[in-house]
Amino acid sequence: MTYDPPRPAGRLLLTPEDKEAPARTRRLRVLGLGQHTEPALDAFADRLAELAGAPYAMVNFIDEERQFFAGLHVPDGSVPAVQSADRTDATKPRIGRYMARDHGFCPHVVVRHKALVLEDVRDYPRFAGNQVVDEFGIHSYLGAPLIDRTGIALGTVCVSDVEPRPWGRAGLDTIKSMAAELVERIELREGGF
C-alpha cells in the first residue's frame, strides 16, 4: 500500500462512486461484520486511539447504504451501543455507531484502496465541505483500508481530531500497520474474535 497524498481541488467532490459496494456488502454478511458491535473491536479502537494519540478512533465497515462503526473510541469514553449520530445538546451532535455514506472520509479510502492523510481537512476543498467538519468539528483524519484476501476493501481503521494534526510518516505507518493487523484477525474469523 502506498501513500498518495490528496491534491487540492478546485471544486467539492461528493462521495465517490463505489462500484465495489454490492460485493463488499455480501462479503461483510459472510464474515458477520458490519451489523453488530463487538467488544474486541471497541478495544481495538481504544488501542488505535492510544497509539495515535487521537480523541476519535473507529473500525468502520461500509455497505451500500451506510457506515457502521463496529469499533469506536470517543473522547469521553461514552461509546453508544447502537445508534445513529444524535444531538446531546442543541448545538453539537454526538458520534454514534452509524453514519451516512456521504459523511466523513472513509468512503474515499475504501474506493481508493489507499490510506488517506489529511493533516487539516480545511486545506483541501474536496474534503473541507464534508458534513463531519461542520457537524462534529473534525479537522484532521488518518485512515487506511481493510483489504481482505479477496481484494475487497471491507472498510477502514481511522483516527480523527478536532485540531489539525501533523500525522507524518509515523502516523501513516501506524494506521497501515493497524489495518494489516485487523485484516489478519478478520481472515482468521470463524464467528468471533
Is position 71 within any domain? yes
193 pLDDT above the threshold of 90: no
Q: What is the mean pLDDT of residues 79-99?
A: 57
Computed over every residue of the chain, the mean pLDDT equals 84
Please report which residue ranges of the chain form alpha helices under DSSP H: 21-31, 39-52, 106-112, 125-128, 131-136, 168-187
Is position 110 within any domain? yes
d(CA 165, CA 121): 10
Is position 100 within any domain? yes
Is position 13 within any domain? no
Q: CATH no. for residue 49? A: 3.30.450.40
The total number of structural domains that make up the chain: 1
pTM of the model: 0.83
Q: So what's the pLDDT on residue 134?
A: 77
pLDDT in tens, 18-39: 999 999 999 999 999 998 999 9
Is position 133 within any domain? yes
d(CA 106, CA 84): 17
SS3 96: coil
> Degrees (nearest 5) of the Cα angle 156, 179, 188?
105
6 pLDDT above the threshold of 70: no
pLDDT in tens, 111-126: 999 999 999 998 988 8
177 vs 129, higher pLDDT: 177
Beta bridge partners of 142: 117, 159
pLDDT in tens, 32-78: 999 899 999 999 999 999 999 999 999 999 999 899 999 999 987 66
Q: So what's the pLDDT on residue 1?
A: 38
Q: So what's the pLDDT on residue 131?
A: 76
Is position 9 within any domain? no
Q: Three cell numbers at 145? A: 483500508
Is position 34 within any domain? yes
Is position 81 within any domain? yes
Using only C-alpha atoms, the chain has a radius of gyration, in whole angstroms, of: 15
In whole angstroms, how far apart are CA 122 and each of 21, 87, 167, 177?
Answer: 28, 24, 15, 27
Q: What is the mean pLDDT of residues 135-140?
A: 87
Range of the domain at 46: 21-187
